[in-house]
Amino acid sequence: MAFTLSIGQAAPDFLLAGVDGKQYSLASFAPAKVLVVVFSCNHCPYVVGSEDRMILLYQDMAPGGMAMVAINANETENHPTDSFAHMVEHAKHKKLPFPYLRDETQEVARAYGALRTPHFYAFDAARKLRYTGRMDDNPRTASAARTHELRDAIESLLAGRKIAVPVTNPIGCNVKWQGQEEHWMPPEACDLV
């Protein structure tokens, strides 16, 4: 079995604390026609380069029925800036309009098979996976992006069309796993395409 969720698989449920003091699960996003789950963090330069685009995507797509949630699963012993307290400050500073959750045990990251930060998963109304991978082909520099696979996938889902490119490789830093060296990935993890 692949490490990362495959197209058509159901979204694993979770119960995680948000930086706003609330608890979130899949049911928290029940009304959304599309749910985007992104594994993110505070420090990764690929996330930093993508975050304004994530906010813009949310602002553009939320009125049409998309919800988004960001989850930070990075270990904090070697990456203290990914702690919950730092997440709270980061969310305030960036004015994140979507929930930002802490996966302290990394169980949710493993359930989804998160490979990198950022790693995006787009689920349909039945919470079946319809897209996984990157936002676009240049997460660090918005002006250099030539493709927009995540946005294209969401637009297709909302319009009831088939997604042209359902799987791409996420581009970013490895998820920082507890008890492992910085660039470690689970042995069963590999590129998606």
Residue 87 lies in a domain: yes
Whichever domain contains 48, its CATH number is 3.40.30.10
Residue 193 lies in a domain: no
pLDDT digits (tens, 9 = 90+) for 63-83: 999 999 999 999 999 999 999
Which residues of the chain carry a pLDDT beneath 50? Answer: 1
Longest dimension (CA), the chain: 44
Are 62 and 46 in contact by the 8 Å Cβ rule? The answer is no
Handedness of CA 45, 85, 17, 180 (dihedral sign): positive
Residue 4 lies in a domain: no
Residue 2 lies in a domain: no
Could you give the residue ranges of the DSSP H alpha helices within 29-148?
45-61, 84-94, 107-112
CA angle 87, 93, 96 (to 5 degrees): 75
State residue 190's pLDDT score.
Answer: 65
User: Domain limits at 161?
Assistant: 16-174
For the chain, the domain total comes to 1
Are 127 and 11 in contact by the 8 Å Cβ rule? The answer is yes
Residue 61 lies in a domain: yes
Residue 152 lies in a domain: yes
State residue 158's pLDDT score.
Answer: 97
Residue 185 lies in a domain: no
Residue 24 lies in a domain: yes
